[in-house]
Structure 1
Amino acid sequence: MNWDLIYTITNNYALLMWLILAFAPRRPAIVTGLFYGGVGLLAGTYALIIIPLMTGLIDGGSTAPPDFTTLTGVRQLLSSPGGATVGWIHYLAFDLFVGLWVARNADKYGFARWLQIPILFFVLMLGPFGLILYLLLRFTRYNKVADAVMPE
Structure 2
Amino acid sequence: MMWQSLFGFTNLVAVIGWAALLLLPRRPLTHSLILFAGVGLLCLTYAVLLVLLVGKVVDPGAIAGAAAGPFDYSDYTIAGLRKLFMTDAGIVVGWTHYLAFDLFVGLWVGRDADNKDFSRLVQVPFLLLIFLAGPLGLFLWLAVRERRARAVARAAK
Which residue of 75, 84, 109 maps to 1:77?
A: 84
Match of 2:129 in 1: 122
**Corresponding residue to 2:71 among 59, 65, 71:** 65
* RMSD of Structure 2 on Structure 1 (CA): 1.4
TM-score of the superposed pair, with normalisation by structure 1: 0.90
State the one-letter code of the partner of 1:32. Answer: S
1:142 to 1:35, Cα distance in 2 relative to 1, 3 A? closer
1:91 paired with 2:98, answer yes
Query: CA separation in 1, counterparts of 2:82 and 2:30?
Result: 38
Matched with 1:132 is: 139
- Following superposition, the deviation at residue 78 of structure 1 comes to 1.2
Contact 2:116–2:149 (CA<8 Å) still a contact in 1?
no
Between stretches 67-76 and 97-106, larger displacement belongs to 67-76
> How far is the alpha carbon of 1:142 from its aligned partner?
4.2
Shift of 1:66: 2.8
Counterpart of 2:60, as a letter, is G
| Maintained 8 Å contact 2:42/2:100 | yes
Name the TM-score, length of structure 2 as normaliser: 0.87
SS in 2 for 1:34: helix
* Unaligned ranges ≥5, structure 2: 63-68
Distance 2:149 2:45 in 1: 38
1:142/1:15 Cα in 2 relative to 1: closer, same or farther (>3 Å)?
A: same
Deviation at 1:55, TM superposition (A): 2.3
Alpha-carbon shift at residue 70 of structure 1 (Å): 1.0
**Of the two, which has the highest radius of gyration?**
2
Structure 1 gaps, min length 5? 148-152
Q: How many residues align?
A: 145
Aligned partners of 1:137 and 1:5: how far apart in 2? 38
